Structure 1
Amino acid sequence: MTQKETGFRGLKVVSFESRMAAEMQTLITRFGGEAVVAPSMQEIPIPESSEIVDFGEKLLSGQMDMLICMTGVGTKMLFETLSARYGRERVLPAIMKLTIVARGPKPLQVLRAAGITGAISVPEPNTSEDILETLDSHSRADSLKHKTVAVQEYGASSERLIRELRKRDARVLQLPVYRWALPKDIEPLKRAVCMIARGEAQISIYTNAVQIRHACRVASQEGIEKEFREAQKNCVVASIGPTCTEALLEEGIHADFEPTHPKMGQLVKELSEQSDQLLQQKKAPLILFADVHRTGETAAAKTQRCRDAVFLKACRREPVNRIPVWLMRQAGRYMKDYRKIRSRYSFLELCKNKEVAAEVTIAAQRKIDADAAIIFSDLLLPVEPLGFGLEYEGGSGPVITGPLKSLSDVAQIPEMDPDASLSFVYDAIKVTRNCLDPMIPLIGFSGAPFTLGAYLIEGGGSKNFVKTKQFMYQDSGAWGALMEKLTRGLASFLKGQIAAGADAVQIFDSWVGCLSPDDYRKYVLPYTADLVRSISGQVPVILFGTGTGPFLPDMCRAGSDVIGIDHHCELNETWKKIGYDRAVQGNLDPAALLAPRNILFEKAGSILNAVGGRPGFIFNLGHGVLPGTSEDQVKGLIQTIHEYPVPKPAKA
């Protein structure tokens, strides 16, 4: 059979590729499509900008610490500009002294061609989030405080990356080496945009963020922007990767497809193979599970599940025949199926759609064979009912508007009524519980009062939580009032999740590790204990925080059934210190999933051997799964945990 019979089958495929327009035309045609390739942009070099001159002077005087190379073309232009001004023999040795970060294979290739090796490589899909997580976890970039970091930009600034670098107290130098403009010949772009607006194209392909912005701009100039955007709902929208998908979402357009790897050839090949299925899905609601509306389980089934599920038995410190395992962030960007669904919904839309949230929850558990599912939600969902604005810029980091500053601000916060404002979470739990295997427990969750309060005060995440500590120290009355109000609201929220069908709940105190043990005991423990006490005895309660090693025994005083331990602690010694009358959960370093399998299994085995079969252990990570993790690595890890022979319990 020909590609036209097995690939796109003659479908009209519109692409806005510019630099590799001829290659895109060839690819679409090779895989059986009717190609319409309309270049949408051109690169305009910015020769010797003041920023590049400033960088060059600092580079040669030894004042630079790091260079982040975002694109291959931009890295090449930067080197050529600097070499022309200062001489290649001076520039390259100076650059080699820096910590260099390459966002993907293209800048890495340019660096190697210049004789520069040893760059830190950012894993796919190479988003700003991936860059930040690479910097936070890499030994050569573990502290950006007071470091001078240059970011080679491409067309437009990555505002999230720049903001997050500055939050880490880095001095950031932005290096614009070129800007994007509409192509000299705009007529092909006009024709392609009009073709989509008239509904004549079955597939549209976007390979970078600028393409969609320029297409919308031309549609607006032609007076057909509304029609152009509406038509995207009826044709398959293909994106090369998460960064492009996020740009589409910012324009209100949902991507239907991302390739396995963000490469043009892979994109066209996989898209052609799935084009029929994608067109059918475009016309139908996105539901993967036929039993999504089946009737709920019987009381007898619930009783059996609570008695026999290995995860719940471990929470009760009962002997088990295999080690239970689930992973924080087990539904996330490392999963292709998740990225596919995520491309059609913003993060908050996904959280608030009960069927889709249930789908993501169940799909992740089934895919990796975890012993528990955790409802797909977010610990910041209570922010909006408390009267604050909540946005996820670029599909990732949270931004909260209206940060708290004083007691008067606390007094203005309404009492949380989760039954009215967060019922979509309860609905998602009900749908999930009805569809999930009865022997797989479902975990609900919330943030802890401290962590939620810290977000409200900081207006988002923070590296050191200085504003939170200032608030806590300077106005103890306002702090106490805030903690009490949040504790009441979160208690109601968790009770509602339990009533909806959650078999266990986890309280995430993600940021409490920024405190000293004394401050934890004085400013946090009383409120966490009140929250745990409000739901104690209904279902198992897990309390988890990062960086909490110095005061884990104090955390135990909050009264949870299970204590989560992060990867900075040695598990056996920590369990001994907090007492064997408490179940523990943890604590593999998430970065171990990026290591070769022999190292991964060695590290997991060390944890299992340290436990020694003692009842009350749940295998998990010390934090969430990293985006660059391989699905196969996760499945291999869980299979290894399940196959581990549980020895007789060690003596305490």
Structure 2
Amino acid sequence: MQLDNDRFLRALKRQPVDRTPVWMMRQAGRYLPEYRESRKKAKDFMALCRNPELCCEVTLQPLARYPLDAAILFSDILTIPDAMGLGLRFVEGEGPVFDRPLRDAHAIEAIGVPDPEGELRYVMDAVRTIRGALGRKLPLIGFAGSPWTLATYMVEGAGGSDYANIKRMAFDTPEMLDSLLAKLSASVSLYLEAQIAAGADAAMVFDTWGGVLSPALYERFSLQPMQRIVAHLKRVAPHIPVILFTKNGGQHLERMAATGCDALGVDWTTDLSVARARVGRQVALQGNLDPISLFARPERIEAEVARVLQDFGHGPGHVFNLGHGILPQTPPEHAGAMIEAVRQLSPAYHK
């Protein structure tokens, strides 16, 4: 489909654009009052994720507010572990909790690879619904959590831990962890392939917890599973751009770029000028404004946007984004100030 605004997709392919495209990680979410109203319509968070019409409603909400260059599917990275039957719950004030965490080989052996059009059909229905509502206006980003990040939640049983259980597994029984990650690599590959078939124009893998690993453990348990996903997607949908993002992963950029992905997300702990010097000939870069900067005054936000744009410099291959997801307490008008600053300041870098 020829899109009215394909600026985001052209930037991922490092093709010329008139200005730097912009979207925000978690752009559909709790910082918007209209999202909170939609959330009230559902019984709980996962009920919201399982309702394609509400997912579409929430996905489109930031597009009605802001002149963004891409939509991203509203869902959650834990849909795959949930489909594996681990008893996912979201506890107020605590986040996700699994009633049946994976702590031994028998438990890992018992889980299977979910069918994207079976247990996870509600996600594909949401993609189809959103694609229909978007029409030709904008590209739609599909996404999944990385195998390592999903495994962390599944083994620890919750978020926000010290990663003791899964790191112990990595050191003590690495073959057992390899087995879990192999199932998750297959699951994520099929899941993203199905999102693409349903209408997603790009795919992003969120490796939220890869940055907690040593370089050797990162290579085996985080990077190699993501490389298998990239290889699968490039085989079945070579025209679809793939973005990899490891939070706190600046030291791994060269190895990430070597996976064959099209773009790397960069968080605020790595300067874009440094990242571009290291991998810019291979991939596009996405990022990397610190989300906390959106709590500052609008004039300071504009100054930070200017700094990020200058840091990347002239030419194609940059997608403006936050260095991680927008925080729930962010004033919506401050997000608007960031987006407007990108639109006003970035054309000078593309002449």
TM-score calculated relative to the size of structure 1:
0.52
Pick one of 204, 207, 219 that aligns with 1:506: 204
- 1:394 to partner: Cα distance: 1.4
Pick one of 323, 334, 338 that aligns with 2:20: 323
CA contact (8 A) 1:612 1:647 kept: no
- 1:464 to partner: Cα distance: 2.6
Q: Is 1:559 aligned to 2:256, yes or no?
A: no
Paired with 1:437 and 1:594, the residues of 2 have a C-alpha distance of 34
User: Compared with structure 1, are the counterparts of its residues 316 and 396 closer, same or farther at alpha carbon in structure 2 (3 Å cutoff)?
Assistant: farther
Pick one of 294, 303, 328 that aligns with 1:602: 303
Q: Is 1:363 aligned to 2:61, yes or no?
A: yes
CA contact (8 A) 1:371 1:440 kept: yes
Q: Which residue of 2 aligns with 1:142?
A: none
- Which shows bigger deviation, 636-645 or 350-359? 636-645
Amino acid aligned to 1:579: G
Amino acid aligned to 1:361: T
Pick one of 458, 462, 465 that aligns with 2:156: 458
Amino acid aligned to 1:338: Y
Paired with 2:58 and 2:350, the residues of 1 have a C-alpha distance of 36
CA contact (8 A) 1:612 1:649 kept: no
- 1:618 to partner: Cα distance: 0.1
Pick one of 315, 318, 321 that aligns with 1:617: 318
- 1:384 to partner: Cα distance: 2.1
User: Compared with structure 1, are the counterparts of its residues 621 and 318 closer, same or farther at alpha carbon in structure 2 (3 Å cutoff)?
Assistant: same
Paired with 1:421 and 1:472, the residues of 2 have a C-alpha distance of 29
May I ask how many residue pairs the two structures share in their alignment?
A: 347
Q: Which residue of 1 aligns with 2:29?
A: 332
CA contact (8 A) 2:98 2:154 kept: yes
Amino acid aligned to 2:52: K
CA contact (8 A) 2:301 2:337 kept: no
CA contact (8 A) 1:406 1:471 kept: no
Amino acid aligned to 2:59: T
CA contact (8 A) 1:407 1:477 kept: no
Q: Which residue of 1 aligns with 2:216?
A: 518
Paired with 2:174 and 2:30, the residues of 1 have a C-alpha distance of 40
CA contact (8 A) 2:144 2:188 kept: yes
Counterpart secondary structure, 2:286? strand
Paired with 1:589 and 1:437, the residues of 2 have a C-alpha distance of 32
CA contact (8 A) 2:88 2:97 kept: yes
Pick one of 89, 103, 124 that aligns with 1:426: 124
User: Compared with structure 1, are the counterparts of its residues 437 and 415 closer, same or farther at alpha carbon in structure 2 (3 Å cutoff)?
Assistant: closer
Amino acid aligned to 1:323: T
- C-alpha distance after superposition, 1:128-186 (max 9, x if no partner): xxxxxxxxxxxxxxxxxxxxxxxxxxxxxxxxxxxxxxxxxxxxxxxxxxxxxxxxxxx
Pick one of 228, 245, 250 that aligns with 1:530: 228
Paired with 2:177 and 2:25, the residues of 1 have a C-alpha distance of 29
Amino acid aligned to 1:478: M
Q: Which residue of 2 aligns with 1:494?
A: 192
Q: Which residue of 1 aligns with 2:7?
A: 310
Counterpart secondary structure, 1:646? helix
CA contact (8 A) 1:358 1:428 kept: yes
Counterpart secondary structure, 2:54? helix
- 1:558 to partner: Cα distance: 2.2
* 4+ residue runs over 6 A deviation: none
Paired with 2:332 and 2:94, the residues of 1 have a C-alpha distance of 20
- 1:557 to partner: Cα distance: 2.2
5 Å-filtered alignment, 1:222-371, equals 302=1, 304-305=2-3, 309-345=6-42, 346-371=44-69
- 1:614 to partner: Cα distance: 2.1
- Which shows bigger deviation, 331-340 or 548-557? 548-557
Paired with 1:314 and 1:594, the residues of 2 have a C-alpha distance of 28
Paired with 2:7 and 2:137, the residues of 1 have a C-alpha distance of 9
What are the ranges of 5 or more consecutive residues in structure 1 without an aligned counterpart? 1-301
Counterpart secondary structure, 2:287? strand
- 1:524 to partner: Cα distance: 2.4
Paired with 1:458 and 1:496, the residues of 2 have a C-alpha distance of 28
Q: Which residue of 2 aligns with 1:148?
A: none
CA contact (8 A) 2:56 2:126 kept: yes
- 1:570 to partner: Cα distance: 1.0
Paired with 2:159 and 2:196, the residues of 1 have a C-alpha distance of 28
Q: Which residue of 2 aligns with 1:632?
A: 333
Q: Which residue of 1 aligns with 2:280?
A: 579
Paired with 1:325 and 1:554, the residues of 2 have a C-alpha distance of 26
Counterpart secondary structure, 1:446? strand
Counterpart secondary structure, 1:560? coil
- 1:634 to partner: Cα distance: 0.8
- Which shows bigger deviation, 541-550 or 575-584? 575-584
Counterpart secondary structure, 2:188? helix
- 1:648 to partner: Cα distance: 5.5
Amino acid aligned to 2:323: G
Counterpart secondary structure, 2:137? coil
- 1:649 to partner: Cα distance: 6.0
CA contact (8 A) 1:406 1:475 kept: no
Paired with 2:93 and 2:193, the residues of 1 have a C-alpha distance of 29
Q: Is 1:485 aligned to 2:183, yes or no?
A: yes
Paired with 1:418 and 1:319, the residues of 2 have a C-alpha distance of 35
Amino acid aligned to 2:252: F
Paired with 2:53 and 2:196, the residues of 1 have a C-alpha distance of 19
Paired with 2:54 and 2:193, the residues of 1 have a C-alpha distance of 23
TM-score calculated relative to the size of structure 2:
0.95
With CA pairs under 8 Å and 6+ residues apart, which has the higher RCO, 1 or 2? 2
- 1:598 to partner: Cα distance: 1.7
- C-alpha distance after superposition, 1:365-411 (max 9, x if no partner): 22122110001000001112212110111176000111111222211
- C-alpha distance after superposition, 1:160-213 (max 9, x if no partner): xxxxxxxxxxxxxxxxxxxxxxxxxxxxxxxxxxxxxxxxxxxxxxxxxxxxxx
Pick one of 380, 387, 392 that aligns with 2:85: 387
